[in-house]
Structures are given as structure tokens and as C-alpha cells.
């Protein structure tokens, strides 16, 4: 049975433990001699949403891996994960303080979330640097498993930044801070309200109606300049061109649930796309939403939870969660293929 703090989820976690994924633990990368091509492995990360973890997006992450990507999943330690365990065994439990703020003081809630986004993006920048180093140096922990990525990783094209909800905001913030380090962004229903002000200004710069904040009247409460010192030190030669987030191809996918409620600045982002202001002028940026879908459609949860429970609680909409997962996968892969063709 699950231990605290997940003990109250035992009835669900028990059934989830019965699920088997079509993947191999500690699998060795295909050798250049045995693979169909000598092309190096492209890189990607997938950042989880609020209450998620590194396992709750296995379908989308494994689909990317099946396309030849080395996909990195992390568990954020800002308190947004359901729980995570540090190297020393200490548990970082889910931070319940923001939920109380949501009820009592919306402004303070969004300030808190935006600071978490900054923390999350900083984690992804550090983790991405560590991933790229695997192309030059193989750590002992991988050597002992017979795994070696040296000279096999495509470090020239950057890292594809992906994420859902809070993770989508994290991926976009990553792209704002280190666009020269980024191959593009796949934002699955991003919580754009939680991107800090500097990032939001960069994303909505072409929108004349954008005045800052979340219609809450505050700016610069999550200034990230102090966090960018290390970013600048690692910038490649591309940085000389002063890249911005709209120099990258961007994919935004939303659910019908969020589109109806106008959540995550979806309407503002859709207008940017319709007006031709999303991504580069000659790029392949795209915006779509899926009918009969909910916010949780993008994670594994809807497929793992018994349908009668998921629909009764509103976790799953009237559509088939497996069909939606495949639809998200196909649209994501089509976008990635178009990006790669433009290189």
C-alpha cells in the first residue's frame, strides 16, 4: 500500500500499479551500426503539471522516445509535484499553501505560482545542461548499466521544451530565458497565467490589448534577471542574434474545457495565431483545441482512472481518453516533423 502522503490515494494507486508500459527499463540506446540511420538522437524534456510527477505523462513521453528522441522527465521540487524524494531520502510533499491563497487572495496566489514557475524553469535549464553533457562524458551510474550516450546526442539543434499545464508554463518560461538553447516549444494546455511577467510580456508582445499581469494589476513580481546570470554564460553563438521566444516554432494544444472557460489565456494565444503573430513569420507554429476533452486529457490520468469514476468526477469528458491521447500524440508529432524539415 502507498505510504504517506499518498496513502489516501490507495484505491487508485493500486489499480495504477497493475498497468504495464511497452517500454524497457535501463534500455541501451540503439547502436549506430544496428540502427537504420547514423542520425544523432534529438533531445526533449517534458515538464509535469500541478500534482503530477515524472510518471504521469508516460504516454506522450514514450511516444516522443519512439520517434528517436532522448526524453528527460523530472519531478519538480517546488512543491507542485504530488510528492518527490530527494537523493538523501527526504520527501518533498505537495505544497497546499497556494490552494488556500486561491480562496483568500488571488493576487498573492498568482505571485506564488509565478515564483514557482521561475524555480521550475531554473531546474529545467540546469537539467538540460546535464543532459547535454552526456554527449561528452558518461557518468558512472550509466556506465555500470552499459548505457552510453557519448557522441550520440544531437546537441546542435537544442532541446525541445514540452510540458502540460504548469509544465507548459515551465516550457514557455524556459524558452523565454534561453531561446538559443531551445529547439521549439510544445505547450499542452499551458497555465499561461502562471508565467512570470517578463515571460508574459515576451509571449504577448504583439498583442496591443495586453497590459500585464492577469488582469490583477501587478508587474515584475517574479523578476528573473538574477536567475539569468548562468544562462548568459552558457549561451551559444546564436545568442548574438538576440533571439526571442517568437523566433521559435510554438505548438499550443488546448482542451474544450479550457477553451469554454477562457483559462490559460487560450483566447489571447489563439488570436496571436490567427493574426500571424505566433512564432516566426515563415514558421510552422500552430494552435488547436480538441472537442469533448478536459484539462486532464493530456496526462495519463484519464486513461488510468476507471471511466465511470473519471466521468462522475469530471476528470474525463464525454470523449474517449485513449482517442484524445492519440490525437494529442499525432498533432505533436506532425508539428515536430514540420520543425525538423525546416532545419
pLDDT range class, residue 8, cuts 50, 70, 90: low
Residues 14-43 have pLDDT tens digits of 666 777 888 888 888 887 545 555 689 999
Provide the pLDDT confidence category of residue 9 given band limits of 50, 70 and 90. low
114-136 per-position pLDDT tens digit: 999 999 999 999 999 999 999 99
Residues in the chain: 343
pLDDT band, residue 55 (cuts 50/70/90): confident
Is a pLDDT exceeding 80 seen at residue 218? no
In angstroms, the Cα distances linking 179 to 59, 109, 127, 146, 332 are 27, 28, 16, 33, 20
- Other CB atoms within 10 Å distance of the CB of residue 242: 9
The predicted-structure confidence for 66-95, as pLDDT tens digits, reads as follows 999 999 999 999 999 988 888 898 999 999
Q: What is the pLDDT of residue 231?
A: 47
SS3 335: helix
> Quick check: 112 pLDDT over 80?
yes
In this structure, how many other beta carbons lie within 10 angstroms of the beta carbon of residue 268?
Answer: 16
Measured between alpha carbons, how far is 23 from 94 in angstroms, rounded to an integer?
A: 28
User: Distance between CA atoms of 132 and 124, rounded to whole angstroms?
Assistant: 12
**Helical pair 321-342 and 58-66, crossing angle rounded to 10 deg:** 40
Among residues 232, 198, 196, 186, the alpha carbon closest in space to that of 116 is found at: 196
User: For residues 279 and 216, which has the higher predicted lDDT (pLDDT)?
Assistant: 279
Q: Are 198 and 176 in contact (CB under 8 A)?
A: yes
In the predicted model, is pLDDT for residue 235 greater than 70? no
pLDDT digits (tens, 9 = 90+) for 282-302: 999 999 999 999 999 999 988
Q: How much is the average pLDDT of 201-211?
A: 87
Given this model, what pLDDT does residue 270 score? 97
Confidence band of 11 (pLDDT split at 50, 70, 90): low
How far, in whole angstroms, is CA 98 from its chain's centroid? 21
Do 13 and 6 form a contact (C-beta atoms < 8 A)?
yes
pLDDT bracket for residue 6 (50, 70, 90): low
> pLDDT: is 227 or 131 the higher one?
131
- The reported pLDDT for the residue numbered 222 is 46
Model pLDDT, residue 233: 42
Q: Is 140 exposed, middle or buried (0-12, 13-18, 19+ CB in 10 A)?
A: exposed
Lookup: cell for 241: 542574434
- Residue 239, pLDDT > 50, answer no
Residue 237 has pLDDT above 70, yes or no: no
Cα–Cα distance, 286 to 272 (Å, whole number): 10
Q: What confidence score (pLDDT) does residue 32 get?
A: 57
pLDDT tens figures, 193-202 = 999 888 898 9
Angle, alpha carbons 19-335-282 (nearest 5°)? 165
Amino acid at each position: 500500500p502507498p505510504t504517506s502522503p499518498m496513502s489516501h490515494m490507495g484505491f487508485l494507486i493500486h489499480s495504477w500499479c497493475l498497468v504495464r508500459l511497452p517500454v524497457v527499463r535501463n534500455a541501451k540506446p540503439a547502436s549506430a551500426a544496428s540502427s537504420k540511420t547514423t542520425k544523432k538522437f534529438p533531445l526533449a524534456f517534458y515538464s509535469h503539471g500541478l500534482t503530477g510527477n515524472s510518471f504521469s505523462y508516460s504516454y506522450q513521453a514514450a511516444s516522443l522516445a519512439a520517434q528517436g528522441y532522448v526524453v528527460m522527465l523530472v519531478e519538480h521540487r517546488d512543491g507542485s509535484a504530488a510528492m518527490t524524494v530527494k537523493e538523501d531520502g527526504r520527501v518533498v510533499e505537495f505544497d497546499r499553501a497556494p490552494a488556500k491563497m486561491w480562496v483568500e487572495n488571488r493576487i498573492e496566489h498568482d505571485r506564488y505560482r509565478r515564483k514557482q514557475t521561475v524555480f521550475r524553469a531554473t531546474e529545467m535549464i540546469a537539467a538540460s545542461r546535464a543532459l547535454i553533457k552526456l554527449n561528452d562524458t558518461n557518468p558512472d551510474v550509466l556506465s555500470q548499466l552499459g548505457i552510453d550516450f557519448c557522441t550520440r546526442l544531437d546537441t546542435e539543434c537544442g532541446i525541445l521544451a514540452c510540458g502540460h499545464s504548469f509544465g507548459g508554463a515551465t516550457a514557455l518560461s524556459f524558452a523565454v530565458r534561453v531561446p538559443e538553447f531551445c529547439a521549439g516549444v510544445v505547450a499542452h494546455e499551458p497555465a499561461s497565467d502562471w508565467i512570470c511577467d517578463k515571460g508574459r510580456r515576451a509571449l504577448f508582445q504583439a498583442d496591443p490589448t495586453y497590459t500585464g499581469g492577469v488582469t490583477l494589476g501587478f508587474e515584475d513580481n517574479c523578476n528573473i534577471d538574477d536567475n539569468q546570470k548562468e544562462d548568459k554564460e552558457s549561451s551559444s553563438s546564436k545568442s548574438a542574434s538576440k533571439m526571442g521566444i517568437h523566433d521559435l516554432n510554438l505548438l499550443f494544444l488546448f482542451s474544450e474545457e479550457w477553451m469554454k472557460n477562457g483559462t490559460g489565456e487560450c483566447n489571447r494565444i489563439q488570436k496571436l495565431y490567427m493574426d500571424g503573430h505566433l512564432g516566426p513569420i515563415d514558421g510552422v507554429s500552430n494552435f488547436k483545441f480538441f472537442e469533448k476533452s478536459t484539462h486532464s486529457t493530456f496526462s495519463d490520468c484519464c486513461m488510468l482512472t476507471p471511466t465511470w469514476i473519471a466521468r462522475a468526477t469530471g476528470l474525463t469528458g464525454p470523449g474517449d481518453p485513449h482517442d484524445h491521447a492519440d490525437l494529442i500524440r499525432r498533432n505533436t508529432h506532425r508539428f515536430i516533423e514540420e520543425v525538423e524539415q525546416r532545419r
